[in-house]
Amino acid sequence: MTLPKLNKNQVFFGTFVHAKHLGELEFLHNTAVCVDTSGKIVAVEPNCNQQKTVEALYARLRWSLEDTSVTLGWDKRLFFFPGFVDTHAHASQYPNLGIFGKTTLLDWLNTYTFPTEASLAELPKARRVYTRCIRQALAHGTTTAAYYATIDVNATNLLADLCFSMGQRAFVGRVCMDHLGPDYYRDESADQSIAATQATIEHIRSIDNNFELVSPILTPRFAPACSSEIMKGLSEVQQRTQLPVQTHISENVNEIELVKELFPDCKHYADVYDTHGLLNEKTILAHAIHLTEEEADLIAKRKAKIAHCPCSNSALSSGVARVRWLLEKGIQVGLGSDMSGGYSPSILEAARHAKLVSNHLIMPGGTLGNLSSEERDKAKLSIEEVLYLATKGGAEVMGLADKIGTFEVGKQWDAQLIWTGLVPDEVAYDDFTTYGATDIFGWETPDERIAKWVFNGDSHNVRKVWVAGRLVHEQLLRKENWMDELSANSDLDGVGLLDD
């Protein structure tokens, strides 16, 4: 199979915000973005109005009114933002969000994680969990995700089927582990593990021939759970297929000790993957908290990528990754929800928390608390930076930077329409609509409005979500109300939310 073409071309009007470069947001006001029937952006026209676009742009693109559907975002409360990229998520752990108690990584795996993952061999349960996981991810604006499934082939295939059916761009990995896991949840042998992985690759090829929307990803769980044979086998599969790889690195100090014991001949954790042929530009490494200078240099040299998972790192008391340090080494970094080490399916929450934990690094008592005032300021991540990590950074980590992450001609229309509150001038006591606490008063700068969204936004601010041009999520609302409110509040001159 391949993705079917869309019925119509599409034009989206309004304010578009994206992060083309680390630390900068670009605001495109009064802009039209044109998307063709393959879901590709074919024009980005700033400073226009609907009339102008219809006349000039349609002529240029040879589009007709009848063949084009129009989505209007001419409202002060609306803006389009690129879909979020979740570079590290265990779909199979979705039912455990928020459930971790006082555990840390290794006891958390045994207490909560392995039993839940094992139970998804029961397919109706897997369907219920995976369907809900994907729906929530889409509802939180995540258009692309790198998922871990479980060791079970059928359940992994089901996850891939559901991503394809529900329209989420995804890498789906069948988990390989022949060590560490309990008897009831472990691959029998390296050979069996590789064969099972092959089976999921073939299945995904059968539903999405060119891996256009859904791709397999090779998934050695993490070094302590993998024999040398599994890792070597996966490296061979990678050399043959050029598929991406995902795994964990240096999340927890006890885990690092365990890796030292299990692989005494390797110089360090990063060297384990390197010597097994799994550290290369297609490798996504989750966490990377306690890396040594030498490990980070090796990762940079191999062009491997890092999934920063701040919510998980705080929840499991793992530590704080030094993102600025990684970025300065030239390593590409994205954000991961790490469900359910992380407690939230939201990459906006991950972005918010990435900013907060970068503050923790340099606080009095923090790992970098003794740096100079200037160095401390620099180590902190800005709103613009965490939004870059959430979108274009994530696209780079997944090797998809040519396809997604920004609103640029040639990229796919993977986008979310964000809606924030706008406080009336004469506010009544009981005025309350469900936008969370993203209250805009009207005097804020565009940057401040974005900051309000980042710090108080949630799934209720995500009105619509598209992947490859397809509408894949829409908030359930009283349609008549949403339209009434829109027209009552719309500025027909075409001023977007984030206009000055």
Restricted to residues 359-398, the positions that interact with its own copies (CB under 8 A) are 359-360, 362-367, 376-377, 380, 382-383
Q: How far is the CB of 389 from its own copies (least distance, A)?
A: 16
**Is 25 a binder of its own copies (CB under 8 A)?**
no
Q: Are 99 and 115 in contact (CB under 8 A)?
A: no
d(CA 12, CA 28): 12
Site string for its own copies, 391-430 (x = CB under 8 A): --------------------------------x-xxxxxx
Rule CB under 8 A: choose which of 123, 356, 371, 486 binds its own copies.
356
Binding of its own copies at residue 489 (CB under 8 A)? no
Stretch that binds its own copies, among 75-83, 150-158, 343-351, 404-412 (CB under 8 A): 343-351
Q: Which is nearer to its own copies, 73 or 345 (CB)?
A: 345
End-to-end CA distance of the chain: 46
Strand partners for 17: 27
With CB under 8 A as the contact rule, the residue among 30, 459, 465, 494 that binds its own copies is 459
Shortest CA distance to 419 belongs to which of 304, 338, 364, 497? 497
**59 sits near its own copies (criterion: CB under 8 A):** no
Q: Using the rule CB under 8 A, is 439 a contact of its own copies?
A: yes
Which one, 77 or 452, has the nearer CB to its own copies? 452
Hey, is 18 helix, strand or coil? Answer: strand
Of 195, 409, 437, 483, the one binding its own copies (CB under 8 A) is 437
Q: What are the Cα distances from residue 371, in Å, to 88, 282, 283, 362, 380? A: 31, 34, 32, 7, 12
Angstrom distance (rounded) from CA 261 to CA 255: 10
Nearer to its own copies, 326 or 400 (CB): 326
Interface positions, 319-338, toward its own copies (CB under 8 A)? 319-320
Among 10, 142, 157, 344, binds its own copies (CB under 8 A): 344
User: CA geometry: angle at 391 spanning 387 and 395, to 5°?
Assistant: 145
Closer residue to its own copies (CB): 41 or 133: 133
Nearest distance in Å: CB 490, its own copies: 21
Interface of this chain with its own copies, residues 296 to 315, rule: CB under 8 A: 314-315
Residues 64-103: x/- map of binding to its own copies (CB under 8 A)?
A: ------------------------------xx-xxxxxx-
Among 179, 456, 482, 499, the residue binding its own copies under the rule CB under 8 A is 456
Residue 262-291 contact track with its own copies, rule CB under 8 A, x = bound: ----------------------------x-
Torsion sign over Cα 46, 407, 69, 29: negative
Alpha helices (H) in 372-412, listed in sequence order: 373-379, 383-388, 394-397
Structure tokens at 39: 């879901």
Residue 287 region, left (φ>0) first, then alpha (ψ -120 to 50), else beta?
left
Binding to its own copies (CB under 8 A): which residues in 114-143? 127-129, 131-132, 135-136, 139-140
Report which secondary-structure segment, H or E, holds 86. Answer: strand 84-90
Query: Does residue 458 belong to the site contacting its own copies (CB under 8 A)?
Result: yes
* Integer CA distances (angstroms), 200 to 56, 370, 459, in order: 48, 49, 31
- The DSSP call for residue 485 is H
Contacts of 282 (CB under 8 A, 6+ apart): 238, 242, 243, 244, 245, 399
What is the Cα 224 distance to its own chain's centre? 26
Q: Per CB under 8 A, does 475 bind its own copies?
A: yes
